[in-house]
Each structure stands twice: as C-alpha cells, then as structure tokens.
Amino acid sequence: MPVITIDGPHMTNEQKKDLVESFTREAARVTGIPTQAFIILINENGPDNVGVGGELLSMRMAKKQ
C-alpha cells in the first residue's frame, strides 16, 4: 500500500478532505495503482513547532508583522 505523508499547517476538515481526495486521485492516475490502496497521513504543525533558518516560524512571522 502506498503511503503519502503531508506535513503542513492546521487545516479545516473540508481542506483535509479536498487534499486527501486530490492527492489520492492524482497519485492513482500517475502510478496506475487503485485509489483504494492509498493511505494518506496528515501531520499538522503549528508555527511553534517549525524551525526555519535557526528560529521558530512563529517568531519569524511575528517579526514580519
């Protein structure tokens, strides 16, 4: 079973539904593997849990405001 892992920001359930449907559909089209075989894992990461360039993303975002 193919596994697709998505790391990103917090999303609504509707956004997750759309993302899962579109990733599954496109991966099945490209690989020829049935959609039923795909597993999609969504990891939501808040800006306090992401580091960019040696600093927390939340602090980097605060500087831009």
CATH number at residue 36: 3.30.429.10
- In this structure, what are the phi and psi dihedrals at residue 25, rounded to the nearest 5 degrees? -60, -45
Report the number of distinct structural domains present in the chain.
Answer: 1
pLDDT above 90: residue 58: yes
pTM of structure: 0.79
pLDDT above 90: residue 28: yes
Using 50, 70 and 90 to split pLDDT, how confident is the model at 10?
very high
pLDDT above 90: residue 25: yes
Structural domain for 17, as ranges? 3-64
d(CA 28, CA 39): 11
pLDDT above 90: residue 64: no
Predicted local confidence at residue 45, as pLDDT: 94
Q: CA distances (Å), 22 to each of 7, 14, 17, 56, 63, in order?
A: 16, 12, 9, 30, 34
